[in-house]
Each structure stands twice: as structure tokens, then as C-alpha cells.
Structure 1
Amino acid sequence: MTVFLLSCLFRRQVYAFQLTRRQTSFVPRARILSRLYSTINNDLMEDDTIFALSSGGSAAQATAVAIIRISGTQAPAILQSLTTPGTLLPKPRYAALRKLYYKEQPLDQALVLYFPGPNSFTGEDVVELHCHGSRAVVQGVLEAISDSSKLARYAEAGEFTQRAWRNGKMDVLQVEALADLLTADTNTQRLQALQQLEGKLSETYQSWREKLIAGLAHAEAVIDFGDDERFGDDDFEDPEVGRRLQQESVWGGVIDQMQSLCKEMEVQLSDQRRGELVREGVRISILGPPNAGKSSLFNVLAQRDAAIVSDTPGTTRDVLELTLNLGGVKCILQDTAGVRTETEDTIEREGMKRAFAAASQADLIVSMVDSTDYQAGINILNRVLTECIRSEEGDDDNDDDIGVSGVGSLTPESVLLVRNKYDLLSDGRTSLDPATTNDLAGIFDISCVTQEGIDHFLESLTSLVLSRVSGTEPSSSSRYPGEGALITRARHRQHARSAVDALNRFDFLSRQGTIAVDMAAEELRLAASELGRITGAVDVEDVLDKLFTDFCIGK
């Protein structure tokens, strides 16, 4: 216990030093100058009126309608400069038909909307011009806006959203949700992003943080004013009774509240990455011996000739990928090199190594077996189960340069055994090895040539994918896959896990009497800080800098 208390005290001193370091010259001069320049530059840029083509009218193809967005203090004046002198601004949030002019020459007839700040997307005065989408019209309007006011400039990537964040219209979670919504490929991604954009996730994280801050406020009050109310260990004959009463005197109901909060957060952390799977896609790797039909199945699922198929073993040497939509869920299907028991070919060994690396990082594995050479396929399946499938504790003592160590939390239930070339069997049967196949997610007999069994396999694969992202059994259903997922990015998981670790340390320290009150309070502060980093309540400039650059121009 003494060692633990000392480690916590050291952690607190390191944390305090880090806080001090952020405010002093310990930070390298280059970083200070860079941040200073960035801050000054951002302040100057915030006063600018920005504009950009928000949708339609791309250089590749004209569209029926193109939306040009203007945001900033000069937005109303720019609109009036483009219309007939004396024309009033349209009624806020109502569309109005206006003729646009530039140097007394007509530009277009457009629908115009005016959103006075702060009731707008960016929190500033915003004007939207819904023009015809030809390149001539769009280019003419953009040039007119640029020349109408020297304070107007083209927007940077993500700058409209950045202003919305700076003006308190969105938090970091909502900014991330908007980025996900703009790049959504499937229905589940769209629904998850919309749920996050509505602020439901932010409300949950903020509620957790408020509970931590309330507990921290209680701790600070005890530290500052509660010395006279504390009991000593010698005041009671039974030390355990004294310790319990001392805890009640110091912490009241804070310990129970923090335990309840910790359990609630741990439930979300044990969600099998549902939200991340919806956002990033479920990775499915096809693994098996050469000539088992992996590339043929890859092409069947892709519904095109995505991979070369040949009778020559070892045609596939690298990992091929394509994106599928299974039941509204994004899936990344991988075709891998054939796996042999032994080979002297250096290139083939590298292909096998990459195959196992892909399988070890997959969420589901399709183990492909040639029904006419069943035993060879079973040997490879056994190798998959021993080298790619490990418990959460992991078995990292693998010296095979083809195998992969340190993999994730795959289980045998993540494997589907597919016996291909079923049409070539005379009796239509192959013997099963119960020791190998008992715990698998499913066993399927198919023929990539005749398409026999493909529909059944695809239905089962889709059901398994849906169960992974919904957190339910394959036979059950929810309103939509991924419903209720709170953690949608690895960043969220990292900070939530750190907060839980801090709460576990608090739970221990809060039971050590008055000697550890300060350190226990520090753990609550650390936990609150970690949750604040998720929503942006605590400095997350580096995260935002990367995030905004991923946005397109005009958003």
C-alpha cells in the first residue's frame, strides 16, 4: 500500500509539473513562437468574412444547383452589393428570389437566404446563394464576391465548421460527427453520425464530468475546511469502525457515487468497439491454403473481377481490399495470399506473413478450405486458430517469422469455415474435426463456380456483421445497428479508459484515511480532465487542427 501511495504522489507531482511546464519557458521556443503566431493569425482571420462553394458546381461536372456560402460581418453588405441598389435584405431564414449583378452585368437569378448571427451555423451573419450550377455562373459569382469587399476571402478547408466550434455552436464530438456524416458510406454510419451530431453523446460525457466535478468540489471543501471534523484512528477501539466512520465523515456519499459512475463507464468500454466498427468498417479477411478459391469468393462477393483467378497456386501475393455494404454496414473485405505448411519461396513467405497480419487485425475471418483437399485446409485452419486467434491476455511468445504475435481479442466465434468446390465431391460430404470446428461461427458448403450455397453464406455473414455492430445475438434486432454506441473513435476510448483508471485509483485512495485525501482528489481532477478532452472542454487544439484539415472546402 505504501508503494501505491508513493506512486500516486509521484503521479500527482508529475501532473503538477506538466501543468507548470505548459505555462513556462520549458516549452521549446519554436513551439511557443508557432503557437503565438497561430493564435495571432487565427484572431486576425476570425474577423475576416469568408466565402466558398459549399456544394455542386464542381470542375468535373456542372450541377442543377450550386450553393455558395458567405460568413462574417460583411456577409449582408456583400449580398446587397450583388443585387440592385436599394434592395432590402431578405427576411431572416426565408428564401427570396434575387437577380445577381456584377459591374452592372447580370450574373444569375438565385434563391438567397440570410441567417443573422448568432442564429446560424457558424454563429456569425451567414448568407447562402443557391445559384444555377454551371461553371460559368459559379465562377462569376465567386469572382464577384471576391471583388465586392477586400475583407472577404476564400475559406480554408473546414473553416466554416471551425468558426461554429469557436462560437460555441458545436463541441468537438459534434465536429467529429459532422466529419463522419460528410464521409458516410452506409446507412448505419449516417445514423450514428446524426445521433452524435444531435448532441446525445456530448450530454452523456458532460453528465459524467459534472458528477466528477461535484465530487471534486466536495473533496476540495474537505481539504480546505474539514480538518476539525476528521477522526483519528485512536478514537475508536475497532480500527475498521474508525476507518469507516472516517470515510463517511470525509467523503460522505462521494465514494458510492464514483463507484457507480465508474461501473457505468466500464459498461461503455466493454462494448466490443461497436461504434468504431460502424464508423471504420468491419474488417473481414479470407484466409486459407493456395487454390482453395479465396480469390474466386472475393470476386463473387465483389460482383466483379477484382482479383486474378488462376489454376497456378500462389497467384495472390499481397493483400487485396474492397469495400462492401452488408446490411447497411460498411465492411472491408480482404483477399490474402495462400498459406502453406512450408515454403522456401521468399516472396511467398512474405505474402503468408502479410496474410496472417491482415487476419490478426480483422474482426471476422473466413477460413477457406478446398473440399477436395480437406485435410490441408483443416491444418491451415488449426494454424489460424493458434496464431491469429488469441485470448485477451494474449500469447506473445511466438517466434515464427510468418506468424503474428500481439493480436487483438479475436475468438473462434470470429471464424467462418467455408468449404469450397462442393460441386466436385462425389458423395457431397466431408468429415468434420470436432476439436477444430465446434466453436466456429458457422460452417458452409459452397461452390464459387456454380454459386451453390453462396446466398446462404452471404446471409449468415451479413447477420454476423449486424450482430457485431449492434451488440446483440445474430437472431435479435435493434432499431438500427450501432444504436446507443457511445464510443465511436479510438480517441474517445483512450480518454474514457484513462478516466476509469483514475477513478479506480481514487476508490483505493479514498479508503486510506485523511492521509490520502489530497491524492484522491487529484485522481478526480485527472478523471474530469480526461473526459473534458473528449468533448473539448479541455485543450484539444492538436486534435482539432488535424480534424479541420480533413474537411472539404466550403464546410
Structure 2
Amino acid sequence: MNASPDDTIYALASAAGRAGVAVFRVSGPGAFEGLQRLTGLVGIEPRYAVRATVRDGEEVVDDGLVLAFAAPASFTGEDIVEYQLHGGRAVEAAMLRVLGKQPGYRIAEPGEFSRRAVLNGKMDLTAAEGIADLVDAETDAQRVQARRQSRGALGALYADWRTQIIRILAYIEALVDFPDEDLPEEVWRQIRGQMEALEAGIAAHLDDGGRGERLRDGLRMAIVGPPNAGKSSLLNWLARRDAAIVSDVAGTTRDVIEIHLDIGGFPILVADTAGLRESTDSVETEGIRRATAWAESADLVLDLQDGAGESAPLKGGGDQERIFLSTKVDRLSDAARAGLSGERMAISVRTGEGTDALLSRIGSVAADLMDVGEAPALTRARHRAGLAECLGHLRRAGTLASFEAGEEEVEYGLVAEDLRLAARALGRVTGAVDIEEILDLVFSEFCIGK
């Protein structure tokens, strides 16, 4: 990104298209001067909405509200002006054209407002990522997790761990600088205890079963079974629309059809797959291969069989959760119903029988796999990699420091170096160190205007 803090950036901060209000955000040293040129307003009170007419020379662009936020008490830490005008493509195009004509102004890059907030110390990287997740949140559980992270809960936890590491490092470096001064055995026991507690806390944080990441990305649920077991009908019922073709012809579904659902506030990506059977048709065979691969990587599998038919168990796979279903039970006689397997839930999407129980069961599994509780949760692979690196250095430092007071063979310098590397790894997660190395990676995923 060829960015400069001397640039004044602008963007449409609301969704493009027809709407009641369109919000244009401007941040940088020229924000207030531009406000004066466009509206004639001078010295408006920060954080108060003011009625204004935006002009391009003599031409009126639109009437609306403007708000000013003076540095450093703003989202980016810079002077910010927000213009709230009527929503509509013509107004948006005209306003963006006028802003682009202002001296020193340029269109913002994706995530550049949040990037400036990080660089100006208004938030750390994990909080900025939480803002991006909050924008993308589609379910209530995702919203809660993203809001918690955007308000700094995750960053505060990591910052506290880093502070503890640096405090321990100070003791160790004292030994390196003053080797003739022995620390009391009580102090050594305290240092070892702190290191062990840190290791245990970070290890427990990492050993979360991927709950935070799964909640952010959505639980993967596959619907599998033999042809004509009712897979596509079940998908359509879950989606509340005709997302897949339903036919009595075996092999109708030949590709993986994916639908995003909100069940119990949790995000679920459900896939209808090709019927599992032996086939000589090359296209159907490829569909079955894709179905098997998708199902084997899923977090939850709905294993269907026609209530009066045979099951087609999925071969291979991992230890993912499974819900076994007997479908089309409305077509069965009482005698046939009595013969159904006890491990399978009986459902009929045509009559609704058993469907409420199925939704409840899916919601329960989703909660087990994604409920992160009150503690801040890992949400990204970048966090996990940084914490794993930190834990590795801590463990090596702990091994080197496993000594009794006064033992001469301890390499204090090596212990200190591992502690420095552990603190550095944590600092990269929050953006406290090496921030320029990871800014482009983090903010490339953001939308323009945020």
C-alpha cells in the first residue's frame, strides 16, 4: 500500500445502492478544510450533527447532516468528518466525484480507516479483526464473539501474557548482567511457577477444539446417504426454499450444493451431496467423489436412509459428529415403523414429523462445537500460529530454567533469548511488534470504508 499519513482518505462507508442514508467518511489532516470548502461550515462542535448543504462550487450536491470528530478523539485518531446524505447511486457518484477533487484527498484502500486506527494506537490488530468479523457476522453467536473481540478482550488477554513474560525476562536478564548475584531460591520458585502458569494458560487457550474459528467461519454439515433418501428435500426444508432439484430419478444431484443457515444463532454451512452408490457414469462418479471428500471434512454429518430402504454408510472419514436419520416415515406402515433402527431419528419433511427434534439436535451439536463461553476465543489461523510459536519458546525456556538455585550449568542467556522470542511472537499477534510485516495481510480482507 503506497500510503502516507499526510494523505486525507475518503470512502463511502455505507452499502452502495439505493438506501435512506449514505454515509461518506473522510479522515486525515485535510478533513476540516474540505468540510469548510464543501459546506461553508467553520469550527463546528465535534460530535454534534449539523445540517449542511454540500456544494461543488455553485452546484448543490445534496442536503444532509455532517459530524466532525477532532483528533485524537476519533476512530482513526485523526480529524474525521462524516457526511450523511440521501442514499442513491446518483448522490453517491456525485459526492465521491466532489471528494476526489479536493486537494490532498484520495480514495481509501480496503481497511485503511481501521489500519490508521491501529497505527495511531486506537486499537490493536485483534480488535481491528474483530471489527471486520462484526461487519461480516450473520448470526447472533458470531455477533457476540466479534463484538467481544472488537472491544479488545482478546488483545487484553494477550497483552497481559506478554507483560508477564517481560516481567520474568527482567529477572533472567538481571542474572545475565550480574552473574555474581544469586537470586534467592524463593524467587526462583516464583519465576518457575509463573512460567508454568503461563504455559498452562496458553496451552489451554490453544486446546479449544477450534471453537472460535469454527464459529467465525461456520460449522460444516454434510447431508449424505444413498440416492432418493431425501437429501435434497431435507436441504430445501432447512433452507426454506427450493435450493436443490428434487426428483425420483436416482443420481439427480451430481455436485455439492452449499447453503448457509442460522440454527439456534450459530452459523452452519450445509451441503447436499450426490447419492452414495456404485456408478459407471463418469459425471456421477465425480459427484460421489466430491460428496465423500466434503463429508469426510465436515464437522457434522446427517446420515440419511429411506425409512423403507437401505443405508449407504460413509466410508472413511474422521471422528466427526453424526446424526442418523430415517426419512419419508410418513409413507411407512405401522409395522415398518416398528422395525426402524433405534439409533435413527424418524423424520418426514412432507408432514414435519420429527423435524423440530432434528433442529434441536443440530442446534445442540452446534452449541457443543462452537459455544466459546465467556473467555476470549481464538478466531484466526494467524492468532493460533503466533500463540503456538510463543508456547514453543516458553516451553524451551522452562526446560532450560528447570534448575535449583545455584546450579552453574544453567545458560541464563538462552533462557532470556527464548523469553524474548516468546514475547515477540505474542507481540506480532496484537501488532505490538513487527507491525508493518502483517498490516497488508490483515487489512486486505477488509471492506472499503472500514
- TM more than 0.5: yes
- Higher-Rg structure is 1
Verify: 1:79 aligned to 2:35, yes or no.
yes
User: Aligned-pair distance for 1:150?
Assistant: 2.0
Query: How far apart are the structure 1 equivalents of 2:92 and 2:234?
Result: 46
Residue type at the aligned position of 2:427 = G
**Is structure 2 residue 445 aligned with structure 1 residue 550?**
yes
Please tell me whether residue 420 in structure 1 is matched to residue 315 in structure 2: no
2:388 match: 497
- Rounded to whole Å, the distance in 1 between the matches of 2:281 and 2:42 is 78
CA, structure 1 residues 420+75, in 2 after alignment: closer, same or farther (shift >3 Å)?
same
What residue is the counterpart of 1:388 in the other structure?
317
CA contact (8 A) 1:90 1:112 kept: no
**2:11 equivalent among 48, 52, 60:** 52
Within 5 Å, give how 1:90-169 maps onto structure 2. Answer: 90-147=44-101, 149-169=102-122
2:358 is aligned to: 457
Do residues 527 (structure 1) and 422 (structure 2) align? Answer: yes
Letter in 2 for 1:98: A
Call closer, same or farther: CA 1:538–1:303 in 2, change over 3 Å: same
The answer as to whether partners of 1:89 and 1:114 remain within 8 angstroms in 2 is no
Question: Identity of paired residues, percent?
Answer: 43
Indicate how the Cα distance of structure 1 residues 348 and 159 shifts in structure 2: closer, same or farther if over 3 A, else same: same
Aligned counterparts of 1:199 and 1:52: Cα–Cα separation in 2 = 25
CA distance in 2 between counterparts of 1:429 and 1:523 reads: 65
For residues 490-531 of structure 1, the C-alpha deviation after alignment (integer angstroms, 9 at most, x for no partner) is 221222222222222222221255333332322222221221
Per the alignment, residue 338 of structure 2 pairs with 429
For these two proteins, the number of residue pairs brought into alignment is 444
Counterpart contact for 1:359–1:388, Cα < 8 Å: yes
Which of 283, 286, 303 is equivalent to 2:220? 283
Q: Relative to 1, partners in 2 of residues 1:541 and 1:337: Cα closer, same or farther, differing over 3 Å?
A: farther
Q: Secondary structure at the match of 2:171?
A: helix
**Residue equivalent to 1:301:** 238
TM-aligned CA distance change 1:346 to 1:253, over 3 Å: same
Q: Distance in 2 between the 1:421 and 1:98 partners?
A: 63
Does residue 274 of the first structure (1) align with residue 211 of the second (2)?
A: yes
Structure 1's unaligned 5+ residue stretches are 1-37, 231-244, 391-409, 438-442, 472-481
Match of 1:444 in 2: 345
Query: Taking structure 1 as reference, are residues 151 and 259 closer, same or farther at Cα in structure 2, changes over 3 Å only?
Result: same
Identify the match of residue 369 of structure 2 among 440, 445, 468: 468
Instruction: List per-residue Cα deviations over 1:168-216 (Å, max 9, x = no partner).
Output: 1121101111111111111111111111111111110000011111111
Q: Is residue 69 from structure 1 mapped to residue 25 from structure 2 by the alignment? A: yes
In 2: Cα distance, 1:517 partner to 1:542 partner:
30
Q: Which moved more, 1:173-182 or 1:137-146?
A: 137-146
Tell which deviates more after alignment, 520-529 or 254-263.
Answer: 520-529
More helix per residue: 1
Provide the secondary structure at the position in 2 that maps to 1:129. Answer: strand
Report the Cα offset of residue 307 of structure 1.
1.3
List gaps (5 residues or longer) in structure 2.
none
Instruction: Measure, in 1, the Cα distance between the counterparts of 2:306 and 2:435.
Output: 52
**1:350-400 CA-partner distances (Å, limit 9, x unpaired):** 333222221222111111112212xx31xx33x44xx1124xxxxxxxxxx
Q: Call closer, same or farther: CA 1:356–1:516 in 2, change over 3 Å.
A: farther
Q: C-alpha separation between the residues in 2 aligned to 1:346 and 1:227?
A: 77
Look up the SS of the partner of 2:411 in the other structure.
Answer: helix
1:321–1:543: structure 2 CA closer, same or farther, 3 Å change rule? Answer: farther
Indicate conservation of the 8 Å contact 2:36/2:42, yes or no: yes
Q: 1:370 is aligned with what amino acid? A: D
Residue type at the aligned position of 1:176: E
Residue of structure 2 equivalent to 1:515: 410
Residue 91 of structure 1 deviates from its aligned partner by 0.7
- Alignment-derived partner of residue 145 in structure 2: 192
The offset of 1:70, in angstroms, is 1.4
Deviation at 1:252, TM superposition (A): 4.3
Partner SS state of residue 270, structure 2: strand
